[in-house]
Structures are given as structure tokens and as C-alpha cells.
Amino acid sequence: MKSVLRIPMTRSMKSQSHLLKLAPVLWLAGCFAGGPPPAAVPRAPEVPPAQRMAEIDAIAGIDDTELNVQPLRDPQVEDLRHDEVAARAAGDLDKARDALNTALLMVPDDPALLQERAEIALLQGEYARAETLAMRAVELGSAIGPICRRHWATIEQARLARGETGNAVSARAMIGGCTVPSVIRM
């Protein structure tokens, strides 16, 4: 029969032995120490660009009791604007965009053209471009009336589409300042 040599365990050896027995358990516990994966942040439902445009149209509606400033237009630019309206109605946003881009080459600082181009950008899902164009229109255009409301509503919708809710709220607040009652003449 074989004899087995037994070595008495010291106290430090016993504690190391327990650690070795616990190592697999600790390793597995480390795999799950993070808890469940974080819940995904719920995204706002995707709003189609056409619905965003309908919101802009509703906000900017012309009121018969307010002042509405309209600039004089170049006939060639006006023809391009009519082309844009027809293309937009036919659903050809690329053709509408091209007509407005051509008009903007002739009159680059026309706030109404910039606004119309911003709306086409919004309809094409180019939200950053839509906001940039609408902001430029705000800088150059009227601070009152339906066109002013269209600028700020476009900015609001572009920001909402990009998930910038806080910034959209500030744009929404600017819309109220665009309505100025007309002068009552007696």
C-alpha cells in the first residue's frame, strides 16, 4: 500500500484554499455584477415631414386682423416661385428645390425664398439645412406676420425632428411675438 504524505495546513493556507474554491463563483458573479442592461431611452415617434409641414401651415395661417407685409418681386423670380409651387404640388421636391436654388442665385437675401427653400429641405428630411435656411430668413426678414411665424415654426419642427426638444421650445416661444394687430383706421 502506498503511503500518502500529509502536510498539515497552516492558517494562511486554509484561507487561500477557501479563496481558490470561491474563485469560480466570484468570477461568475463579476459577469453579472452590472445588473440588467440599461433600458433604452424611448424615442419620440417618427413624425413624417409632410405632417411637420402641416403643423407649420397651421401655425402660420394668415389672420385678416393682422398686419401682413409682402415685398415687391422680380418677375423672373416670381416665375421660378410658380415653378416651385407646381413641382411641390406634383410631389417633385427635387424640381421644387432646383427652382428655388436658381431663384436664390438671383436674389440670395430674399427671406421669403429662403423660407420656401427651408420648407423644401424640411420635406426632404434635411432638418439641419431647414433650420439654417429659416434662421437666415429670420435674420433678413420681417419680425411680424405669417412669414415670421413660418420661420419660427420651421425652426421648431427642424429641432423636434432632430430630438432637440429644449431648443424647439424656445423656437415655439418666438412664434407668439410674430402676431401684431393691424392698425384700426376710422
Q: Cα–Cα distance between 153 and 135 in angstroms, integer?
A: 11
For residues 120 and 91, the answer to whether their CB atoms sit within 8 Å is no
Cross-strand pairs, 66: 181
Domains recognised in the chain with CATH numbers: 75-178 (1.25.40.10)
Model confidence at 115: pLDDT above 50 = yes
Q: What is the pLDDT of residue 59?
A: 87
**For the residues 134-150, what does the mean pLDDT come to?**
92
Mean of the per-residue pLDDT values of the chain: 82
| CA distances (Å), origin 140, targets 21, 35, 174 | 76, 54, 16
Q: Which of 30-34, 70-74, 146-150 has the highest mean pLDDT?
A: 146-150
